[in-house]
Amino acid sequence: MQLTSSTGATSTERSGGSSILARLNRPVAAGAIAFLGWLAFVVARWHVWAHGHITLFIMSGVKYSHPDQMSPRISHVPLAGYDGQFYYRFARNPFNWDPTAYGITIDHNYRYTRLGYPIVTWLLSLGGQARLVPTMLVVVNLLCIAAVGWLGAKFARDSGRHALWGLLLVAYFGLVISVGRDTSEPLADACMLGGLLAYRRSRHVLAALLLAYGAITNEPILAAAVGIALTRLYQMYKRRAKPGWQDLAWVLPGAAYVVLEGLEKVLVKGTSGGVSDITQNITLPFRDMIPWLITDVHRLNWTHLGLYDYNVIEAIALLVVVVAGLLVLRSTTAPVHERVVFVVFVCIEMVFASSQFWGSVFGDGRTYVESFMMGIVLLLATPPAVATAGEAASRGGGVLPRLLPANRVITNKRLAWIAAIAVAALLVVARRRILFQ
């Protein structure tokens, strides 16, 4: 005999599920989930690939690192290693600008203008204590991932969506390299997103400080300042705005980078870091992007996942988000300057990027992270539904209104499909880096 109503039980289950979702509809919940998810990756990589040696995350090679000069010694990988070894070197003492220090020789002068991550690590490791630095490099990145998840939830809530949609910002596959090899993107992007959110709330001094620190952590963050500058200067040209506190958000980051670049030019011999950065990483539009994408497709291995298979998977996931972001440029409710920032990032990080990035099978697309994140910000801010009147008004017109309609919507279902593609790519790349370098 059935003593309770099945309909009532179903309603109770649904209300229970809704209650859980309601409790998770908070930025702190998104931040905690982001932290725990990436902590699981760190533990798995530490246990499986690194065999319990946290110093392997530094990826110190034997070309620029000299084991005999290190005290204490750290684990090494073959050949040149990766960027983490230079962040480790400056985290020991960010104010020591000798060409070689702590057993590591600087390869390019632009390393001297990426001090934000080492400085935070240096502080948390009690002044660069050698035994603490390797662990603190990982801890700082995990805390910054949590901050990005928290900020993503803020962006999602601003757009009327559930806070957990903000986790899309930490679902980028390239962060596997940042977290797994001790590089600066998590901190730089936390500063960028925090700066943009502060700018939305008219907290212009805070926005300027965060964007400035992001710029001296990883110089591509200057693209955010450039996007704000272009928007502000155009508004002034059209006499829609006057100079004010808002302009600190682009003036201060530029000034901070110029000062650091100037110090590097005076104190360090060799080619300027900024010049070296541009000549190596920037080329003509699409010159390297398209040929290398075609090369990756031609070199696909249809029997197992090979180096170029990963590149294609990553490119598909990235392009899905970027193209979707471009298609909502007119319909998103994100502020105009954020749309401009997105376009600037896409141009610098993708369209103008050299074979240094597109030809790599080792970096897993970590350098495109801001294009991905800003695309997600725009998608989150795109309405999930449109009024009938607005829909009728947007019909007709030329090619541009048809391609970029002002009433395009991103329903939760569409967003879920995008999320599924991003998460699938993340899981594939995470598995790869848990097992291998």
Dihedral pair phi/psi, residue 43, rounded to 5°:
-65, -40
What are the pLDDT digits (tens) for 224-260? 999 999 999 999 999 999 999 999 999 999 999 999 9
pLDDT band at 386 (very low <50, low <70, confident <90, very high): low
Determine the pLDDT at residue 15. Answer: 56
Dump pLDDT digits (tens) for 71-124.
899 999 988 999 999 999 999 999 999 999 999 999 999 999 999 999 999 999
**What are 192-203's pLDDT values in tens digits?**
999 999 999 999
Percent of the chain with pLDDT strictly greater than 90: 81
Kindly indicate the confidence band of residue 270, based on its pLDDT and cuts at 50, 70 and 90. confident
Measure the CA angle with vertex 34, ends 29 and 38; round to 5°. Answer: 150
| Residue 274, pLDDT score | 83
Amino acid 392: pLDDT: 45
Residue 362: the pLDDT is 84
> Quick one: pLDDT at residue 17?
61
Residues 375 and 321: beta-carbon distance below 8 Å: yes
| pLDDT value of position 275 | 84
Q: What is the average pLDDT across 337-349? A: 98
pLDDT of 277 above 90: no
Inform me whether the pLDDT recorded for 5 exceeds 70. no
d(CA 8, CA 14): 10
**Model confidence at 222, in pLDDT bands (50, 70, 90)?**
very high
Whether residue 416 is predicted with pLDDT greater than 60 in this model: the reply is yes
pLDDT at 78: 87
Whether the per-residue pLDDT at 387 is higher than 90: the answer is no
pLDDT of residue 112: 95
- Tell me which residue has tokens 């596959």: 173
Average pLDDT rounded to a whole number, residues 116-145 = 97
Round the average pLDDT of the chain to a whole number and report it. Answer: 92
Residue 303, pLDDT score: 85
Q: Give 7-50 pLDDT, tens digit per residue.
A: 444 454 455 567 898 999 999 999 999 999 999 999 999 999 99
pLDDT at 433 over 70: yes
What pLDDT shows up at residue 308?
A: 93
Phi and psi based region of residue 126 (left: phi greater than 0; alpha: psi -120 to 50; beta: remaining): left
Q: pTM of the prediction? A: 0.93
